[in-house]
């Protein structure tokens, strides 16, 4: 991930310890961590219309990197709702970043990599049609087809009629439909359950189309570790 500018962290906005910063080497120092959050907040503003009057759901929020980016960039949105399945990250975010515009919810959903003992369901804690902007960075990159389809249907149901979902995934053309930890892919070594799930691009888009989502924008391979960026809308 590259940054276009240097962002000076605001000392009034708490930052999580390095051990809670999802993304590893990309976010070793405070400047890079904050810059990444601001960068994604700016992308959401330009690609999804995120603004102060929007309701934002950060699915897979970790320790609140996007929430920190929003606070640095625009102060707040109408409602930022961070959702995650990892208690240490979520609890830090709730205790340090929560305010009248910023809230966090822990869910006990199964994921073989991050919550193997969790419950098997496709629930995201939001009312139908209540989300103007959904953000999911490096979430679908750790899920198999069944989960993509199930959560895709949930996302389609909770998006507002004109809502947008900005997500990343590993996709390529002319490869098998779905491969977990593909060998010799992007010159990286994938270890453990669901470290990298790569989809055939058209299969991935068709799966989400069937779930109720249509591609509005696609940017190939420019995100972390070579993921591609998508913006979806309700079909």
Q: What is the 3-state secondary structure (H, E, C) of 116-169?
A: CCCECCCCCCCCCCCEEEEEECCCHHHCCHHHHHHHHHHHHHHEEEEEEEEEEE
Please tell me the distance from the alpha carbon of residue 30 to that of residue 5, in angstroms, as a whole number: 14
In tens, the pLDDT along 179-195 reads 999 999 999 999 999 99
- The per-residue pLDDT of the chain, averaged, comes to 95
CA 199 centroid distance within chain = 17
What confidence score (pLDDT) does residue 22 get? Answer: 80
The model's pTM: 0.95
In tens, the pLDDT along 164-176 reads 999 999 999 999 9
In tens, the pLDDT along 143-162 reads 999 999 999 999 999 999 99
What confidence score (pLDDT) does residue 26 get? Answer: 66
**What domains, with CATH codes, occur in the chain?**
18-234 (3.40.50.150)
| Of the candidates 132, 158, 112, 138, the residue with the CA atom closest to the CA atom of residue 229 | 138
Please tell me the distance from the alpha carbon of residue 199 to that of residue 14, in angstroms, as a whole number: 36
Cα distances (angstroms) measured from residue 153 to each of 33, 45, 159, 176: 31, 24, 10, 23
């Amino acid at each position: 991930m590259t940054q276009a500018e240097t962002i000076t962290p605001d000392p009034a906005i708490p930052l999580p310890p390095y051990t809670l910063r999802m993304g590893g080497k990309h976010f070793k120092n405070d400047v890079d961590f904050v810059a990444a959050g601001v960068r994604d907040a700016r992308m959401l503003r330009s690609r999804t219309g995120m603004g102060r009057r929007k309701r934002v759901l950060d699915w897979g929020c970790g320790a609140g990197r996007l929430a920190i980016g929003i606070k640095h960039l625009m102060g707040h949105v109408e409602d930022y709702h961070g959702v995650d399945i990892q208690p240490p990250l979520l609890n830090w975010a709730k205790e340090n970043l929560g305010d009248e515009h910023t809230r966090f919810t822990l869910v006990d959903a199964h994921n073989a990599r991050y919550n193997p003992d969790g419950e098997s369901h496709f629930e995201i804690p939001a009312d139908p049609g209540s989300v103007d902007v959904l953000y999911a960075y490096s979430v679908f990159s750790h899920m198999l087809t069944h989960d993509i389809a199930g959560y895709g249907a949930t996302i389609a149901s909770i998006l507002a009629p004109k809502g947008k979902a900005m997500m990343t995934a590993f996709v390529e053309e002319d490869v098998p439909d779905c491969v977990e930890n593909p060998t010799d892919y992007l010159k990286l070594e994938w270890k453990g359950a669901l470290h990298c799930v790569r989809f055939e691009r058209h299969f991935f888009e068709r799966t989400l189309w069937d779930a109720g989502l249509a591609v509005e924008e696609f940017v190939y391979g420019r995100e972390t570790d070579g993921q591609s960026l998508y913006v979806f809308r309700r079909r």
